[in-house]
Amino acid sequence: MSLTKDRFGGLLFLLLSITYGYYAADIPLLPGDKFEPFHAQTMPYWLSGLGVIFSILLIVLKPAPTLESESISNSNLVLMLGLMAFTFAFSVALPWLGFPITTSVFLASSYWLLGERRPKMLVFASVPFALVFWLLLTQVLDVYIAPARLIFW
């Protein structure tokens, strides 16, 4: 039995379903709930069981001819992971540096990562955009955006 894409997916889902079912036991029940036909653990246990059944079906049954396999180069994978890392960094920096600075840096670095190298474009497509968007939110739409902790320490 070769490890196809489907079987790999099935194995992962099997692992997830078992872990999900294992943690269902940690859900606290109210006194007397055990004797009720339906309580907080019921659905998770059933779902875990269903997940296991479907995973096994996917692993055991003859895999259907796979769709066109994606041709993904390593450089594109790095681009995607880079953008995700920038997004994560954006969420961490936002409370400390504030909206305009974080947004400007996030946009400029993302443009750069995707191949934009013109300094003027990097600056003009990020800083004015971030400032106008911030002004629109705070002044026009009256949305409260917390100031930067680092600046207004």
Partner 1 sequence: MFEGVFTGLSTALMPFNLMMVVLGCFAGTFIGMLPGLGPISAVALMIPITYTLDPSSGIILMAGVYYGAVFGGSTSSILINAPGCASTLVTTFDGYPLAQKNQAGKALALAAYSSFCGGTVGAIILIFAAPALASVSLSFQSSDYFALMLLGLTSVAAFSGKGQVIKAMMMTVFGLMIATVGNDVITGAPRYTFGKMDLVDGISFLLLAMATFALAEVMMTIMRGKMFSTSETMQPVALSSMKLSLDEVKEVAPTVARSSVFGFIVGVLPGAGATIASFLAYGLERNLAPERLRKMFGKGALRGLAAPEAANNAASTGSFVPLLTLGIPGSGTTAIMLGALIAYGIQPGPRLYVDHPDVFWSVIISMYFGNLVLLVLNLPLIPYISRLLAIPAQILNPLIIFFSIIGVYLVSFNTFDIQMMVFITLLAVGLKMLDFPMAPMLLGFILGGMLEKNLSRALVVSDGSFDFLWNRPLTFSIMSVTLIILLLPWILNLGKQLGTKLLSAAD
Phi, psi of 150 (to 5 degrees): -70, -35
Q: Taking the CA atoms of the chain, what radius of gyration do you get in angstroms?
A: 25
138 scored as a contact of partner 1 (CB under 8 A): no
Spatial neighbors of 111 by CB under 8 A, at least 6 apart, are 121, 122, 125, 126
100 scored as a contact of partner 1 (CB under 8 A): no
44: closest CA among 15, 19, 12, 11?
19
The encoded tokens of residue 132 equal 């106008």
Instruction: Spell out where 44-133 has E strands.
Output: none
84 scored as a contact of partner 1 (CB under 8 A): yes
Query: Which of 94, 101, 105, 148 contacts partner 1 by CB under 8 A?
Result: 94
Query: Which of 22, 23, 135, 150 contacts partner 1 by CB under 8 A?
Result: 23
30 scored as a contact of partner 1 (CB under 8 A): yes
1 scored as a contact of partner 1 (CB under 8 A): no
- How open is the CA angle 74-78-84, to the nearest 5 degrees? 145
Angstrom distance (rounded) from CA 78 to CA 89: 16
Footprint (CB under 8 A) of partner 1, residues 42-81: 42-44, 47, 50-51, 54-55, 57-58, 61, 63-67, 70-73, 76-77, 79-80
Q: Which residues bind partner 1 (CB under 8 A)?
A: 5-6, 8-9, 13, 16-17, 20, 23, 27-30, 33, 36-40, 42-44, 47, 50-51, 54-55, 57-58, 61, 63-67, 70-73, 76-77, 79-80, 83-84, 87-88, 90-92, 94-95, 103, 106-107, 110-111, 114-116, 121, 125, 129, 137, 141, 143, 146
